Structure 1
Amino acid sequence: MFRFIQSFVADFTDLLFPSLCLGCKESLGANEPILCTACRINLPETRQHIEPYDQNLLNKFAGKVPVHFLASYLHFTKGGIVQNLIHSFKYKGQKEAAKELANWYGQQLKTDSKYLQGIDVLVGVPLHKSRFRKRGYNQADWIAEGLSDALEIPMRTDVLIRKTFKASQTHKNRLERWENVSTVFAVVKPEAIKDKSVIIVDDVLTTGATIEACAVELVKAGCKSVSVLTLAVADR
């Protein structure tokens, strides 16, 4: 009887406040987490993980820091479905969506990519503690957790820290972004990544300055190699 009441209440709540697709904002059906079937089918996938040596992406780091491989799940365009998704978990508290999306990507990587052999640990790009308190979570860590679950590669949230709070990167060019973050990060547990192959995880790759700053610190701390996975890459 109690289960029937629970089911009835859940159905009634869904009727009044239906779960909405984070892409098109239409009601989700049964077994449709975060995105409706149509939106999921139409996700603008890059497929970079099949051969993750896109020269346009690698040029972001060329001559600056060695990157073993680099791949992003989706193309990010202003006003598109991927922007809706990113904003939902970056600014609207939908952290579970970040994990779910990353898990989908992880399943693809596990099936299709040969470049994950020998990877030891995943590390999300950290937030400053003041930003973390305000948001309540770090979306990069939730992305890393989704990837970790799918790939069965451990993640660490205690290796890399953001020492100082800096202004938003949104309207800065590459040089300005690098100047804004070049001294921001620090490795606080070098023993956790020494002689290990590390993947840096983030939500969107734009100029690459933030990830580059993280990679520099990881390399200085003695990791064997640095790779990069992001949920999206800005097409610009």
Structure 2
Amino acid sequence: MLNDFISLFFPNYCLACNRGLAKGEKLLCLKCEYNLPKTDSHLHHDNFIASKFYGRAKLLHAVARYKFNKSGKVQRLLHRLKYGDKPELGTLMGSEYGKELREANFSEHYDVIVPVPLHKKKLRRRGYNQSAMFGTGLSESLELPQYENALVRNIYTSTQTKKSRLDRLKNVKTIFGYNKEVSLSGLSVLLVDDVITTGATLEACIEALTEAGATSIGVAAIASAK
């Protein structure tokens, strides 16, 4: 309620700390951008995100820009991206992270970007796919095309937030498929999501991408929990 009140009367405020933005600042103030907990996972191949997939999926990279902590500023940003009608926030974070990934030569390893899909019912209600908005920013900086409709979500599922890893795996095992009208055969795919917790959703998407003929896969997210 307080955040809605602030946004009504002070539209140019930092989405992480609610402070008024200075001239030249966009969506995030410089202080928050500097202090948000970054993972630097793109600089270390064997990182805590990659360890989530050991023995489950073979990946070129597994990276996220921020560390996710409950009740922290990163969680606030993700909440505003998903539920606060702020698609431009996802694009901005993707664009900035894409610049870092480009410096680490990620563009040389991938052909296309594919976002984790939303079910069409949820997409209609929200108006946009937050992962695709993040992918749009990555696409601009990495100069790679995004195939937004390459994966499909066949079954509407309840929120994953409070489920255990086993429950998450059971929940997503059969809900993702691939769009046969979009060719991924022989391509290297960078799969993108907003936040990585257990990795169960991404594992299911990786399986669908493999069935679609992708030769190699990496994952990138805005944030990841440890």
Tell me which of 133, 137, 148 is aligned to 1:142: 133
Check whether the contact 2:50–2:63 (CA below 8 A) recurs between aligned residues: no
| 1:95-151 per-position Cα deviation (integer Å, ceiling 9, x unaligned) | 10111011111111112x134413100000000001101111100000000000011
Tell me the TM-score normalized by structure 1. 0.89
**1-structure distance, mates of 2:106, 2:144:** 13
Check whether the contact 1:119–1:197 (CA below 8 A) recurs between aligned residues: yes
**Alpha-carbon offset, residue 51 of structure 1:** 1.9
Tell me which of 36, 57, 62 is aligned to 1:43: 36
**2:218 maps to amino acid:** S
Q: Which moved more, 1:59-68 or 1:219-228?
A: 59-68
Counterpart residue number, 1:199: 190
Check whether the contact 1:124–1:144 (CA below 8 A) recurs between aligned residues: yes
SS of structure 1 residue aligned to 2:114: strand
Aligned-pair RMSD on alpha carbons? 1.5
Structure 1: which 5+ residue stretches go unaligned? Answer: 1-13
Tell me the TM-score normalized by structure 2. 0.93
**Alpha-carbon offset, residue 154 of structure 1:** 0.6
Counterpart residue number, 2:208: 217
Check whether the contact 2:60–2:218 (CA below 8 A) recurs between aligned residues: yes
| 1:54-80 per-position Cα deviation (integer Å, ceiling 9, x unaligned) | 1x3223222222111111100111111
SS of structure 1 residue aligned to 2:52: coil
Q: How many residues align structurally?
A: 219
Check whether the contact 2:183–2:212 (CA below 8 A) recurs between aligned residues: no
Tell me which of 8, 16, 20 is aligned to 1:23: 16
Structure 2: which 5+ residue stretches go unaligned? Answer: 1-6
Tell me which of 141, 144, 167 is aligned to 1:153: 144
Counterpart residue number, 1:85: 77
**1:85 maps to amino acid:** L
Tell me which of 84, 87, 92 is aligned to 1:100: 92
Counterpart residue number, 2:53: 61
Structure number with greater Rg is 1
**Alpha-carbon offset, residue 28 of structure 1:** 0.6
Tell me whether 1:173 sits opposite 2:164 in the alignment. Answer: yes
**2:194 maps to amino acid:** D
Change (3 A) 1:108 1:61: same
**1:134 maps to amino acid:** R
Where in structure 1 do 4 or more consecutive aligned residues deviate above 4 Å?
none
SS of structure 2 residue aligned to 1:170: coil
Check whether the contact 1:48–1:72 (CA below 8 A) recurs between aligned residues: yes
**1:30 maps to amino acid:** K
Tell me whether 1:52 sits opposite 2:58 in the alignment. Answer: no
